[in-house]
Amino acid sequence: MAVNIKPHKDGYILEGKFYLCFSEPEKNYINLMLTKGEEMRYQNDENKDDAFTIDYPGEYDKDSVTIKVVSDKGDSLNYLLKYNNQNVAFVQSAHALEDEDFATATHWMFVDPFISKTIDKMELEGEKIDLKEMSEE
């Protein structure tokens, strides 16, 4: 099964409901920020209309999707989304490839060509999706 992904503003929309974004989250999506945010975020009734945003390492469940977030030594975040018998990874750093859960990915999304080479070197299976090529089309 193919992954439905398209460029949107400064990021990418995945399956019409996830927004991999670098800067400004949007209310219509589950926002997967690409850099680490605050350690603790509190939501109150005044903010209930705010966009749903994930920007910290951990494991989350949202709308029947399991989302694992791993950070590297900097502030970059890597995502593994499990849904509809698919494991889709967005990888920014090779560090995430060392996580045994990430090794189960059936689709690998990346913007850095080094990640593609590392996936090959580690002999990880699955479809590779270079998001930069998609942006340039």
- Quote the DSSP letter at residue 123: T
Q: Are 60 and 69 in contact (CB under 8 A)?
A: yes
CA distance linking residue 136 with residue 20, whole number of Å: 17
Domain hosting 32: range is 5-136
Distance between CA atoms of residues 82 and 65, nearest Å: 6
Give 22's pLDDT tier (boundaries 50, 70, 90): confident
What per-residue confidence (pLDDT) applies to 44?
A: 46
Mean of pLDDT values over 121-137: 87
- On the question of pLDDT at 39 being above 80, the answer is no
pLDDT value at 56 more than 70? yes
Q: Tell me the whole-structure pTM to 2 decimals.
A: 0.89
Number of domains in the chain: 1
Do the Cβ atoms of 92 and 77 come closer than 8 Å?
yes
User: What is the pLDDT at residue 135?
Assistant: 64
Tell which phi-psi region holds residue 52, choosing left (phi > 0), alpha (psi between -120 and 50) or beta: beta
Rounded to a whole number, what is the largest CA-CA distance in the chain?
49
Q: Is residue 40's pLDDT more than 90? A: no
- CB of 57 within 8 A of CB of 73? no
What pLDDT score was predicted for residue 51?
A: 80
